[in-house]
Amino acid sequence: MTEEQRPVQWLENERVLEGQVSSYERQMFPEGITKTARDFHQQIPGYKMSPLKNLPRLASRLGLGGIWVKDESNRLRLGSFKVLGGSFAIYQAIRERLGMMDRELTYEELTSPEIRAKLGDIVFAAATDGNHGRGVAWSATQLGFRSIIYVHKLTSAARIEAIQKNGAKVVVIDGTYDDAVHQVNVDAKCNGWQVIADTAWEGYEDIPRWVIQGYSTMLAETQEQLAAQGLIRPTHLFVQAGVGSLAAATIGYYTNLFGSERPTTVVVEPDRAACLYHSAEVGDGAPHNFEGNLDTIMAGLACGDPNPIAWDLLKETTDYFVKSPDYVAAKGMRVYGVPLAGDPFIVSGESGAVTLGVLMFIMQLPELVPLREKLGLGPDSQVLLVNSEGNTDPDDFRRVVWEGGSSVPKQYRHFHSGLGPAPQI
């Protein structure tokens, strides 16, 4: 088995701040911003907390105290957490245009004829692998604005159709996600569109920061739900990354809340699009491009350029970076979909399931004992995962779950004959 095919390649972060709080975390999460985001989201028609699901049987089988999954598979019926960031960034951009950053606007005000007349005809634009663009399109439509979404050539027809159904015009770029990001920015300048991007570049940082802050609603919900179970905080965070915005939101939120007592943090990427891992490996503190065609089933994580403002936070608050092949995500999808008896059923897409796959391999493979020990994973561990998407690409979902696509190589298959309850069918 070649190195590239190993289920978990890991890197301990030498730049992490031990017992200190990152200055980037304070910039990302100023006082009161989580409340502002959540107050806005709670006014959106159809808003409700997404479930926090407990997998006690699987946790027991793996030798863990608990596995908690924040299930975003049906957030506002859009199949992903991404709408939280896109909608909040649009809200903040509107406040800025109106010169009303000194006060919050109600959803009723946002949709009023008076506000609409002051704003004029705005076109919101974004580049996407699917979920971010769908969230931006939906949010713009809800507020009565047009949207245009750029996607790369490998984007599935199902993802494109989902964006179009939410009111957007879709433009397909002959290139990667990063090429789509570049092109939408060029065209937006020519056409006067407002770009709502989940990654930053020089001179464009406020909106990507608002996107990250918008995700904090999900994490504030999670803390309420954990508290209801008698848990102060998770001991470990495993969070997936594309450009790094979700990871920065999750780790930044918990660092902001608990400081030096934050959970142990692990950032997980596809091995064919591991821009954060690569940046940590280079080790000079700067974000670095990951070259290649980014061809992975984890479409939402297929990004070659890190979000620089996310990287600034992650380089000081991430304990370990991990990269994994597609079969690890596929295993996670199947385990979520066929749970042990007594554990809940979870619909998880390719990008949503990779952290569960990584956690299982870490707990089961003898060669990963050193990582397991460094992480301190054991019977007292309460691990938090985010199922960031549901079945957002039905054809590929069926290929993996129905047909056994992206199967685990034989030497990495792990069965516990006679141990624990049988899978729930």
Q: 260-293, pLDDT tens digit by residue? A: 899 999 999 999 999 999 999 999 999 999 998 8
Print the domain residue range for 26.
Answer: 3-80+215-412
Both 162 and 220 in one domain: the answer is no
pLDDT exceeds cutoff 60 at 421? no
The percentage of residues in the chain with a pLDDT greater than 90, rounded to a whole number, is 92
User: Is 424 a domain residue?
Assistant: no
User: Is 301 a domain residue?
Assistant: yes
User: Is 420 a domain residue?
Assistant: no
Confidence band (pLDDT; 50, 70, 90) for 2? low
Both 48 and 99 in one domain: the answer is no
Confidence band (pLDDT; 50, 70, 90) for 414? confident
Last residue of a domain, one of 203, 226, 241: 203
Both 259 and 386 in one domain: the answer is yes
Both 75 and 31 in one domain: the answer is yes
Q: Classify strands 194-195 and 236-240 as parallel, antiparallel or unpaired.
A: unpaired
State mean pLDDT over 131-146: 96
- Residue 129 is a catalytic residue: yes
Q: What's residue 23's pLDDT?
A: 82
Q: What's residue 422's pLDDT?
A: 45
pLDDT exceeds cutoff 70 at 386? yes
Both 279 and 323 in one domain: the answer is yes
Both 53 and 102 in one domain: the answer is no
User: Is 381 a domain residue?
Assistant: yes
State mean pLDDT over 6-30: 89
Confidence band (pLDDT; 50, 70, 90) for 415? low
Last residue of a domain, one of 203, 232, 258: 203
User: Is 330 a domain residue?
Assistant: yes
Q: Tally the domains of the chain.
A: 2
Contact 391, 347 (CB under 8 A): yes
Q: What's residue 425's pLDDT?
A: 43
User: Is 62 a domain residue?
Assistant: yes
Confidence band (pLDDT; 50, 70, 90) for 424? low
pLDDT exceeds cutoff 60 at 399? yes
Q: 207-240, pLDDT tens digit by residue? A: 999 999 999 999 999 999 999 999 999 999 999 9
Both 149 and 235 in one domain: the answer is no
User: Is 70 a domain residue?
Assistant: yes
Distance CA 260, CA 255 (A): 7
Both 221 and 370 in one domain: the answer is yes
Global pTM? Answer: 0.95
Both 363 and 249 in one domain: the answer is yes
Average pLDDT, the chain: 94
**Which of 309, 390, 299, 379 has the alpha carbon at shortest distance from 352?**
390
Q: Classify strands 236-240 and 66-71 as parallel, antiparallel or unpaired.
A: unpaired
Both 241 and 344 in one domain: the answer is yes
Q: Which CATH number characterizes residue 157's domain?
A: 3.40.50.1100
Both 263 and 393 in one domain: the answer is yes
Q: What's residue 251's pLDDT?
A: 97
Q: What's residue 417's pLDDT?
A: 41
Last residue of a domain, one of 203, 225, 249: 203
- Catalytic entry in 129, 198, 319, 326: 129
- Residue 118 is a catalytic residue: no
Q: What's residue 172's pLDDT?
A: 97
pLDDT exceeds cutoff 90 at 423? no
Q: 21-71, pLDDT tens digit by residue? A: 778 888 899 999 999 999 999 999 999 999 999 999 999 999 999 999 999
Q: What's residue 26's pLDDT?
A: 84
- Catalytic entry in 53, 70, 71, 82: 82
User: Is 130 a domain residue?
Assistant: yes
Q: What's residue 175's pLDDT?
A: 92
Both 374 and 359 in one domain: the answer is yes
